[in-house]
């Protein structure tokens, strides 16, 4: 039995589920409303796709962000390697390491 907004549920009937399309509620006799609600929930649990489109979109965005981050750090490492591979860069790096040894810094 359908009960629309503002109406009272008949005596002996209980709420089973909400119908959002027409803003009503489906009601059944009291012991059956709980049974039918569980059956309906179980049906929708089985009928629901395991991996929805929203999940696919989220996964795709995550993978794109991961790839972009990896590319960023690869470029940064390459830039640093190029910077320190020059003769002046090596001299600066050696001077920094020597200074750290003098100061007693181990890393």
Q: What is the pLDDT of residues 68-105, one digit of tens each?
A: 888 888 888 777 777 766 777 777 777 777 777 777 65
Residues 6+ apart with CB under 8 A from 33: 13, 14, 15, 16, 27
Model's pTM, two decimal places? 0.45
- The CA-atom distances, in angstroms, between 42 and each of 14, 27, 36, 61, 95 are 19, 18, 10, 31, 70
- Choice between 87 and 21, residue whose per-residue pLDDT is larger: 21
Average pLDDT, the chain: 83
Long-range contacts of 69-74 (CB under 8 A, 24+ apart): none
What six digits make up the tokens of 101? 């040894």
């Amino acid at each position: 039995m359908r009960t629309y907004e503002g109406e009272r549920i008949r005596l002996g009937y209980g709420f089973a589920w909400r119908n959002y399309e027409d803003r009503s509620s489906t009601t059944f006799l009291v012991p059956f409303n709980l049974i039918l609600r569980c059956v309906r929930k179980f049906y929708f649990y089985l009928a629901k796709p395991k991996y929805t489109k929203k999940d696919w979109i989220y996964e795709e965005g995550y993978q794109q962000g991961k790839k972009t981050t990896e590319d960023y750090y690869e470029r940064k490492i390459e830039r640093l390697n190029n910077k320190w591979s020059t003769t002046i860069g090596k001299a600066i790096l050696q001077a920094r390491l020597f200074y750290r040894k003098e100061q007693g810094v181990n890393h």
